[in-house]
Amino acid sequence: MGDGWLNAGRVFSDPAGDAVDRIDVLQVAIHEIGHALGLDGKYSGFIAQGDTRLVDLTAPRPFAGSAILIANGPHIDGFPHTPLMIERPLSGARQMISGADALLLAQLSSFNRPDLTEPSPEENGNDSRGIAMSTLSSSPTCPTNDATDTGVW
């Protein structure tokens, strides 16, 4: 348990018009909702983690035995891709909730069965899904991208 592929970033890019080099307001709103759902220094589920910067994933959630690194704010850190709950958003892109975001919030809020399935290509608007995947393991190190795979579907 604890080893496998986890969606670590869903980023839509190639903006047009006024969206070029701007921060997406929908992304900011969803990011702030993520803080309200538990990734907040004053939330009881987050406080229960103690002073550690690693949030341990526990059963019955997927990837039990793994840990997600937290940076200041608090925000997700340590992924080579761009989860929604990182400290600084990308300009000119729309970051949406990833499996890493959902799994962390599920752990902090004691949800046992987060839905980590990927949306269908129709929900993304086309057949080019551009989903970044990282290997999440039960080792105490940060998640890393598998160098033998592009990590994109």
Of 136, 116, 148, nearest in space to 54 by CA? 136
Average pLDDT, rounded, for the chain: 79
The two tokens of residue 134 are: 């990282």
Q: What pLDDT is stored for residue 30 in this prediction?
A: 95
Residues paired with 9 in a beta bridge: 132
Q: Is the pLDDT of residue 46 over 90?
A: no
Q: Over the stretch 56-78, which tens digit does the pLDDT of each residue have? A: 999 999 999 999 999 877 999 98
Q: Which amino acid is at 102?
A: A
Tokens of 69: 């690194």
